[in-house]
Structure 1
Amino acid sequence: MGFSDSFTDPEPQRTQIDALPGPIVLEFGTGWCAFCRAAQPLVLAAFARHPGVRHIKVEDGSGRRLGRSFGVKLWPTLVFLRDGRELARLVRPSGEAVIVQALASIDPPV
């Protein structure tokens, strides 16, 4: 569990994602996206505070069904799920604090 720095291959199906238990963050983007690369240190730092949250990086683009099923239009888009239910979403996050806040919505501090 925790932060993943590589894209999931093959792309998971929506039914698989919806069935996953617990807190999960889907990160949609590409390896060549400048916004995605700039966000990586922020995402990594935020995940350090939430090691129990599963992070799934999904390479997105034309013809990619999972991104379309979540309505992804810009990268990176982070979708915060708990037990298959979306509780928060960030598009091109601008700082670590907003990611930490969204993570707390699916993985509250004890």
Structure 2
Amino acid sequence: MGNCADKFGNDKNEGDHPVNFGGGNVQLVTTKEGWDEKLSEASRVGKIVVANFSATWCGPCRIIAPLYSELSEKHPSLMFLTVDVDELTEFSSSWDIRATPTFFFLRDGKQIDKLVGANKPELQKKIVTFSDSVAHSN
């Protein structure tokens, strides 16, 4: 349940096997433009965005990735995104990411909640709460 690192680039293990951060209905964001497009799309269709700022070398990120993917399939009323903090360093810095994973919950592009760390029960609780709120507003 701990945080992976204080800043980007720590503790890289180049020999680690890649982990699939884009499974299920999770969409990988690789550009700032892609991020903007996804947020616009979510606003248009009335979805809350769950954005996972993560890193391939981060142990807790790897541990929570399968759950995040599973939750994306169970809660199609939400949009699940993953941002690799190493691929989009400047963009991640603009969100003041101090540890990975960090999850943001956004409505109409504005932050409505945040979770730092790989806290599985808390992540599930927040996702269920937001999924229910979207279901009841439609």
Indicate whether the TM-score tops 0.5: yes
TM-score, normalised with respect to structure 2: 0.62
CA distance in 2, matches of 1:55, 1:7: 9
SS at match of 1:71: coil
Matches of residues 43-62 of structure 1 in structure 2 within 5 Å?
Answer: 43-61=68-86
CA distance in 1, matches of 2:87, 2:93: 9
- Preserved contact between residue 87 and residue 105 of structure 1 (Cα < 8 Å): no
The alpha-carbon distance between structure 1 residues 56 and 63, as it changes in their structure 2 partners (threshold 3 A), is closer
SS at match of 2:127: helix
Which ranges in structure 2 are unaligned for 5 or more consecutive residues? 1-23
- Preserved contact between residue 72 and residue 79 of structure 2 (Cα < 8 Å): no
* Structure having the larger proportion of residues in helix: 2
CA distance in 1, matches of 2:88, 2:71: 30
Which ranges in structure 1 are unaligned for 5 or more consecutive residues? none
1:75 paired residue number: 100
Seq. identity, %? 21
- Preserved contact between residue 79 and residue 89 of structure 1 (Cα < 8 Å): yes
**Runs of 4+ in structure 1 displaced over 6 angstroms?**
none
CA RMSD after TM alignment: 2.7
TM-score, normalised with respect to structure 1: 0.75
Matches of residues 1-110 of structure 1 in structure 2 within 5 Å?
Answer: 3-4=25-26, 7-9=28-30, 11-12=31-32, 16=36, 19=40, 20-21=42-43, 22-61=47-86, 64-95=89-120, 97-107=121-131, 108=133, 109-110=135-136
The structure that has the greater radius of gyration is 2
The alpha-carbon distance between structure 1 residues 83 and 18, as it changes in their structure 2 partners (threshold 3 A), is same
